[in-house]
């Protein structure tokens, strides 16, 4: 039964998609059959894995609305064991259509539950909002990874996310828990980054991954080649850090706040 993890933070540009693409690549490389579900109409996690779907093509949108069998829509990637259920701009329409539907919070869960037995891990990328799509992701997942960018206002808006996670836990998905908190885009040159790390560890304690993702230009370049970092630049510091993160996720944590891997 595939362990299902959603990467969520309603703040834009904090590294959700970069984490999905590269973490999934290393989990798959470790021999675990892995599916990425792109729950964002921007389609960045599928294109980052080299899979693009034009607006006319069938995607997660059709699966969520029950019009297509999700299995038929899953694409292979260049990495062995790594598959993706792609999205494109059509998914933005689903948000409106779903508002009219019964059981609208469980549309993705239905899809995920059908696929779980085929995979060891299912990783869900989410859009920068706490709308119905993200709620669907939280209702379908076992746990959440929260990426936090080491920047000004890093903790701003987090209480809203935590409140939403709690609400989903009480109303929709009692098993949902925080898998881990990931510090991203760490800049070794600034005191600010260090302060954010301290603040986040003070708040989330042992939930914070030992691995901190540094700001690394190779991580930013890789998506334009449709490649995860293990194919694009495996010796970069960004690659090493996502590899280390994958080990923590595979070994289910043993997080020890504050230590750099
Ligand atoms: P959105 O909320 O729009 O979906 P996101 O949270 O998925 O954004 P990403 O797309 O992963 O964030 O990252 C935002 C931008 O920062 C991208 O251009 C990405 O390439 C870049 N980026 C992410 N992580 C790093 C990093 N560690 N070092 C350098 N650049 C990074
Ligand atoms: Mg994204």
Instruction: State if residue 31 touches ligand 1 by the CB under 6 angstroms criterion.
Output: no
**How many other C-beta atoms can be found within 10 angstroms of the C-beta atom of residue 206?**
13
**pLDDT exceeds cutoff 90 at 246:** yes
Is the pLDDT at 253 greater than 60, yes or no?
no
- Closest atom of ligand 1 to CA, residue 184: 27
* Ligand 1 contact, 32 CB (< 6 A): no
The pLDDT value given to residue 258: 41
Instruction: Give the chain as a DSSP string.
Output: --EEEEE--SSTTSSHHHHHHHHHHHHHHTT--EEEEE--TT-HHHHHTT----TTS--HHHHHTTSS-HHHH-EE-SSTTEEEE---TTHHHHHHHHTTSTTGGGHHHHHHHHHGGG-SEEEEE--SS-SHHHHHHHHH-SEEEEEEESSTTTTTTHHHHHHHHHHHHHHT-TT-EEEEEEEESB-TT-HHHHHHHHHHHHHHGGGB-S--PBP-HHHHHGGGGT--HHHH-TTSHHHHHHHHHHHHHHTT----TT---
Residue 256 has pLDDT above 50, yes or no: no
Q: What is the pTM of this model?
A: 0.95
The tokens 């973490």 sit on which residue? 23
pLDDT of residue 86: 98
The predicted pLDDT at position 189 comes to 87
Question: What percent of the chain clears pLDDT 70, i.e. is strictly above it?
Answer: 97
- Closest ligand to 147 CA? 1
pLDDT in tens, 219-236: 999 999 999 999 999 999
CA of 21, closest atom in ligand 1 = 11
Closest-CA residue, ligand 1 atom 21, reads 220
Q: What is the mean pLDDT of residues 81-86?
A: 98
Residue with CA nearest ligand 1 atom 11: 15
For the segment 16-31, the average pLDDT, to the nearest whole number, is: 98
Instruction: Among the bound ligands, name the one nearest to the CA of residue 13.
Output: 1
Q: Residue 12 C-alpha to ligand 2 middle, in angstroms?
A: 7
- Check pocket membership of 47 for ligand 1, CB cut-off 6 A: no
* Mean pLDDT across the chain: 94
Whether the CB of 184 sits within 6 Å of ligand 1:
yes
9 has a pLDDT exceeding 60: yes
Q: 124-167: per-residue pLDDT in tens?
A: 999 999 999 999 999 999 999 999 999 988 888 899 999 999 99
Residue 8 vs residue 94, higher pLDDT: 8
pLDDT at 201 over 90: yes
| Tokens encoding 31 | 């021999």
* Ligand 2 centroid – CA 261 distance (Å): 25
Ligand 1 pocket test: pick from 18, 147, 217 the residue with the most ligand atoms within 8 Å of its Cβ: 18
Position with higher pLDDT, 55 vs 46: 46
Q: Which of 114-118, 148-152, 210-214 has the lowest mean pLDDT?
A: 148-152
CB contact at 8 A, 139 and 149: no
- The reply to whether ligand 1 has any atom less than 6 angstroms from the CB of 40 is yes
pLDDT for 255 equals 55
User: Is the confidence at residue 260, as pLDDT, over 70?
Assistant: no
pLDDT at 156: 87
Atom index in ligand 1 nearest the CA of residue 40 equals 4
241 Cβ inside 6 Å of ligand 1: no
Distance 185 CA to ligand 1 centre (A): 8
Q: What is the mean pLDDT of residues 187-194?
A: 90
- Which of 52-56, 79-83, 121-125 shows the lowest mean pLDDT across its residues? 52-56
What pLDDT, on the 0 to 100 scale, is given for residue 100?
Answer: 87
């Amino acid at each position: 039964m595939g362990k299902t993890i959603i990467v969520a933070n309603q703040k834009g540009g904090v590294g959700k998609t970069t984490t999905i693409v590269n973490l999934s690549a290393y989990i798959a490389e470790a021999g675990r059959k892995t599916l990425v579900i792109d729950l964002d109409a921007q389609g960045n996690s599928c294109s980052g894995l080299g899979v693009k779907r034009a607006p006319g093509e069938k995607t997660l949108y059709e699966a969520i609305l029950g019009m297509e069998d999700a299995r038929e829509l899953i694409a292979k990637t260049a990495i062995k064991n790594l598959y993706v259920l792609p999205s494109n701009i059509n998914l933005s329409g689903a948000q409106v259509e779903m508002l009219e539907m019964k059981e609208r919070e469980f549309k993705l869960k239905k899809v995920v539950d059908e696929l779980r037995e085929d995979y060891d891990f299912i990783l869900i990328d989410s859009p920068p909002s706490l709308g119905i799509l993200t709620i669907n992701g939280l209702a379908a997942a076992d746990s959440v990874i929260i990426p936090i960018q080491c920047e000004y206002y890093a903790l701003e808006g987090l209480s809203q996310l935590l409140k939403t996670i709690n609400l989903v836990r009480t109303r929709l998905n009692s098993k949902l828990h925080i898998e881990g908190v990931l510090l991203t885009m760490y800049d070794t040159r600034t005191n600010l980054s260090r302060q954010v790390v301290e603040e986040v560890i003070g708040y989330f304690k042992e939930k914070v991954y030992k691995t901190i993702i540094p700001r690394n230009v190779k991580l930013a370049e890789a998506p334009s080649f449709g490649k995860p970092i293990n194919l694009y630049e495996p010796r970069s510091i960004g690659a090493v850090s996502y590899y280390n993160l994958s080990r923590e996720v595979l070994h289910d944590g043993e997080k020890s706040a504050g230590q750099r891997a």
